[in-house]
Amino acid sequence: MVTKRSTSYPRLHAEPSIEGIQQAIPFVGTTARLVGAFESATGLALRAEQDPQSNVPETAGVTQPDLASASAHPIELFKARDLAAAISDVLTELNRTRNELLRREAELAAGIPVAPRRREEQHLAIRLEAILQGGAEAIGCHAAGLYQLDDATSELKLRSAWGLPQERFLDAPRSLAEAFADLEAIVGHAVAIENASLLPHWRIPESFPAAVCVPVSSPTDPLGTLWFFADKTRDFTDEQTNLAEIVAGRVASELQREVLLSECIAAKKTDRQQLHATQWQQDHLPNVTPLLDDWQVAGWSGDSDELAAGFYDWFVPPDGSLAIALGVGEGTPVESALSAAALRSTVRSHANYARTVSEVVNHVNETIWFSSAGGHFASLAYGVIRPDDNEIELTALGNVQALIVRDVKSESVRIEDTRLGMEPEAVLKPQRISLASDDLLVVLPAGTAIDELQLGLEQRLRQNRGTSAKKLAALIRQEMPDVPLGLVLRRS
């Protein structure tokens, strides 16, 4: 839309709004044949009308018989109306299907992954210069420049050019507050300056007799402006201005593609590193059943494609006992995974020389305290079973919980309120828990529905107490899929 033709003012081109544009059903093809058949059979003509109760394009196409066009052999009016209503429903559904197909095709086009070529044919700078050259030559201009906004949206800097001296890239950025033509373009208007000598206050960035400025923007944010310069005073037609805006859209797509490409490459690297970290966690889980009479132990961790926030472990210290552990880190997924890995290594290291459960847990707590700057805590359940003994010495603290499933009833294990790393000298008192044949000790992270385990799953565990610890762990994981981590100890 041209708001001013006088050469004393720039010409402003505004894009028409797409709001309110309706897609009515055209009477073409099979639809035209259907309408013609209706007219031949009834003597009444059909016309398409917008549904007054809806502004949604999909409901366009309500059809009614045109009484004024009735022929000499009309049928009963109510029958014609019923037939017209049925045809209206068919046409409305057809229109919805067409519009939905257009949307789906556009979504599929937008869903094409952005992937780098093995060998990029041209650098971004060369591609942008070629786009500017093609656009300038298409509208009869002799130079072009892309001026991009900075992060503060306060300055415009020349980023790509064609037909301009290379020294222009060394010029200081232009202030957006003083670039009136650029401001008008960023608002959404294409600014056509047909005679620059009559409009010096619009401040064309280069000394050319005429120029046109169009906005370069993403769907949500302005990116800058694109200028096309002519070597003589001239008019810019609506078609040429529209073409300049199309070129600006191509420039914006190239800039966004480069950003998306960088983000995709970075995301793929992160995903690959996370996959390696997850595999490392899985590789360091215990997979060898300890050779200890009358005791079975099994555990499970979360999905193999996600970082686990904790670990389960069992091993045999130098004194020949069986040590079991379940630890949980805190923080973001990466922080908790790193904390859990450090906690597991710390437990194993101190268990090689410490004699009692209290000594191991206290040494672990001191290590976490002195190796952290603060704010990094962890939770742990650590127990030891001596050979030829029916008891387990256990200490549990922090965000863990444990349940003992016996033949007749079950009981919860006392959990210390403190967490590892909160204070250097925690007073921890281990518990000695006696387990009879087929009794179970189930250790889970806090936040798990332990009541659900006690009320619902407890009965099934009691019924299957004679099965292996591995099958019991699989049973808990099947019944409670939201539980990311667990450890089952069974005395056979």
pLDDT given for residue 175 in this prediction: 92
Among 132-141, 360-369, 424-433, the minimum mean pLDDT is found in 424-433
Q: Which domain holds residue 248?
A: 124-262
Q: Name which residue leads in pLDDT, 123 or 249.
A: 249
* Strand-pair partners of 326: 312, 381
Q: 48: which residues sit within 8 A by CB, 6+ positions away?
A: 24, 25, 27, 60, 61, 62, 63, 91
Inter-residue long-range contacts of 468-472, CB under 8 Å, 24+ positions, other chains counted: 468/296, 468/298, 469/296, 469/297, 469/298, 469/440, 470/296, 470/298, 472/298, 472/440
User: Does 134 share its domain with 105?
Assistant: no
Same domain, 133 and 82: no
- Residue-level pLDDT at 451: 58
Stretch 9-31: mean pLDDT: 55
- Domain assignment present for residue 387? The answer is yes
Q: Are residues 70 and 214 in the same domain?
A: no
What Å distances lie between residue 70 and 42, 220, 234, 293, CA to CA?
8, 53, 58, 98
| Cβ atoms of 314 and 297 closer than 8 Å | yes
**Residue 269 falls inside a structural domain:** no
In a domain, 345, yes or no: yes
Average pLDDT, the chain: 81
Per-residue pLDDT at 120: 53
- pLDDT band with cut points at 50, 70 and 90 for residue 243: very high
Average pLDDT over residues 60-69: 48
Q: Which residues, in sequence order, are CB contacts of 29 under 8 Å at separation 6+? A: none
Reply yes or no on whether the pLDDT at 30 is more than 80.
no
| Residue 271 is assigned to a structural domain of this protein | no
Q: What are phi and psi of 4, to 5 degrees?
A: -155, 130
**Does pLDDT of 209 surpass 70?**
yes
Closest CA to 209 of 244, 188, 233, 180: 233
Q: What angle do CA 165, 9, 248 make, to 5 degrees?
A: 45
Q: Are residues 357 and 321 in the same domain?
A: yes
Query: Does one domain contain both 440 and 465?
Result: yes
pLDDT bin (cut points 50, 70, 90) of residue 21 is very low
CATH number at residue 322: 3.60.40.10
**Is the pLDDT score of 174 beyond 60?**
yes
Q: Both 298 and 423 in a single domain?
A: yes
- The verdict on 168 and 19 lying in the same domain is no
Q: Is residue 119 part of a domain?
A: no
Q: Is 472 inside any structural domain?
A: yes
Count other Cβ atoms within 10 Å, centred on residue 24.
13
Whole-angstrom distance, CA of residue 367 vs CA of residue 386:
26
